[in-house]
């Protein structure tokens, strides 16, 4: 990457900082980046470091944190979680996604092959009857 492009990249990242931070450190930060690049530090790693620093600066009280910005970040996080949860529930079977554990049916309990009292063994009944007497799901 040539000098002008790296300089542009760093300047673009520095614009991500709150205005107050830029007024205070902006020029020095750009000069420091130029010196580090001259020393052989990759421009990408400098840009990444400044980008992480900008995120921290926005979340640090006294620099640029505005209630609106924080609310936006929180809202975006909540939406993202909602979308993720929606995707998960749509891809896994309904019984796995259910948060309320269904009360175990006597004939579904692992290790108890004996049907509960009063139930007709499934093998002796047609499918339609099984659906009426059972809970309609596969055990």
Partner 1 sequence: MAVGRRDDGTGPDVLRRAGEASVLILISLASGPKHGYALIQDIKDLVGVELGPGTLYGALDRLERLGLIEPMPADDRRHPYRITAPGAAALRVHLDSVERVSAAGRLRLRLGGI
What residues line the site for partner 1 (CB under 8 A)? 21, 25, 27-29, 31-33, 35-36, 41, 45-46, 48-54, 56-57, 60, 62-63
Within 39-66, residue ranges assigned H as helices are: 43-59
Compare residues 31 and 131 and give the one whose CB is closer to partner 1.
31
Closest CB 64 distance from partner 1, rounded Å: 12
Closer residue to partner 1 (CB): 36 or 119: 36
In order of 31, 121, 137, the CA distances from 134 in angstroms are 75, 11, 8
Rounded least distance, CB 2 to partner 1, Å: 20
Q: How far is the CB of 19 from partner 1 (least distance, A)?
A: 15
Q: How far is it, in rounded angstroms, from Cα 15 to Cα 31?
A: 14
Question: What does the DSSP 8-state code read for residue 104?
Answer: P
């Amino acid at each position: 990457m040539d000098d002008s492009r790296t300089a542009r990249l760093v300047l673009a990242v520095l614009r991500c900082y709150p205005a107050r931070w830029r007024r205070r450190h902006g020029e020095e930060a750009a000069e420091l980046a130029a010196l580090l690049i001259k020393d052989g530090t990759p421009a990408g790693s400098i840009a990444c470091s400044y980008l992480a620093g900008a995120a921290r600066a926005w979340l640090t009280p006294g620099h640029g944190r505005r209630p609106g910005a924080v609310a936006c970040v929180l809202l975006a996080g909540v939406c993202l979680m909602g979308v993720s949860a929606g995707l998960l529930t749509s891809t896994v079977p309904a019984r796995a996604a259910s948060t309320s554990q269904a009360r175990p049916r006597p004939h579904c309990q692992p290790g108890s092959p004996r049907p509960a009292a009063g139930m007709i063994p499934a093998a002796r009944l047609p499918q339609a009857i099984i659906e009426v007497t059972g809970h309609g799901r596969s055990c």
